[in-house]
Each structure stands twice: as structure tokens, then as C-alpha cells.
């Protein structure tokens, strides 16, 4: 192609997801290899799945805004070089950390022996000291 007269700055990724992932599809035809796929075709559905899990954890479809989801993904990503660079953005998505950050309520014990019982799947429950009893409500 022809060179542009002025450079064009393109969007950079905000985060990156898995690349070159294996699938459960077997190679039925030796000329068609479905055993793995990569690039954006692999990364986008993985990051979208993490966002869906975050919404589920937070209480449903309208529980988090797109900006809140992006912020959580960026804050919990594993840096792959200088944060914010044009090849990996904030870094590699860490699904477990992003999902655990997508909560509504934190129940936190005292320095005594506490019994903390969750009422919602979107609660994170932490004991501090003593002989705490932590009871979840069917969430994580």
C-alpha cells in the first residue's frame, strides 16, 4: 500500500487475553486444523467471558457499568511490560482477581471471635482474628 502523509495513531488494547488456545474440536479432516486458534479471535471471547462472570458475581446484568468492568479488569491485570503500552495495555487479564473484585458488599469481622453470614452471592467475607465462623450464601 501507499504510505500515509501523516502517521495515524490507532487504538491500543486496554487489556489482553489468552492467545493460541486449544479447543476440544478434534482434527477430523487432515486439511482442516481446528485444534487451536489465536489472536483477537481467541482473546476477545475469553475477556468477554470474564466480564460476564464479573456481572454474575456482582448481582446481574445492570450491576456494573462498562467503565467499572474495564477498571476492574485493568486494576487486576498482570503487567506485561510498561503499563499502558501499545501492545498489551494494562496487561494480561486475571480472571480470578477480576471476578473477586466484582462484589457489592464486604463483611469483615473484628478482632474477636465472630460469626459472619453472607446473604448474597456478591459478598466477600473476611475474618480478621479470633475464631471466626464464615458462612457463605451460595456464592464463591
The pLDDT assigned to 122 comes to 62
Nine-digit cell string for 117: 453470614
In Å, how far from its chain's centre is CA 74? Answer: 9
Average pLDDT over residues 105-109: 72
Q: Which residues 6+ apart lie within 8 Å of 42 measured at CB?
A: 17, 18, 19, 20, 21
| Torsion 21-90-44-138 (CA) sign | positive
Domain locations along the chain = 1-102, 103-140
pLDDT in tens, 32-81: 655 667 788 889 999 999 999 999 988 888 889 999 999 999 999 999 98
* pLDDT value at 82 more than 60: yes
Q: Quick check: 16 and 74 in contact, CB under 8 A?
A: no
The reported pLDDT for the residue numbered 140 is 46
Average pLDDT over the chain, rounded to an integer: 81
Asked whether the beta carbons of 133 and 107 are under 8 A apart, the reply is no
pLDDT at site 24: 62
Percent over 70 (pLDDT), the chain = 81
Amino acid at each position: 500500500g501507499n504510505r500515509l502523509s501523516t502517521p495515524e495513531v490507532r487504538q491500543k488494547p486496554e487489556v489482553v487475553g489468552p492467545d493460541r488456545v486449544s479447543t476440544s474440536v478434534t482434527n477430523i479432516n487432515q486439511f482442516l486444523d481446528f485444534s487451536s486458534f489465536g489472536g483477537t479471535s481467541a482473546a476477545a471471547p475469553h475477556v468477554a467471558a470474564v466480564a460476564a462472570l464479573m456481572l454474575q458475581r456482582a448481582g446481574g446484568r445492570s450491576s456494573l457499568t462498562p467503565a467499572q468492568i474495564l477498571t476492574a479488569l485493568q486494576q487486576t491485570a498482570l503487567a506485561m511490560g510498561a503499563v499502558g503500552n501499545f501492545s498489551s495495555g494494562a496487561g494480561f487479564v486475571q480472571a480470578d482477581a477480576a471476578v473477586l473484585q466484582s462484589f457489592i458488599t464486604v463483611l469483615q469481622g473484628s478482632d474477636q471471635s465472630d460469626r459472619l453470614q453472607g446473604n448474597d452471592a456478591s459478598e466477600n467475607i473476611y475474618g480478621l482474628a479470633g475464631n471466626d465462623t464464615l458462612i457463605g450464601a451460595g456464592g464463591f
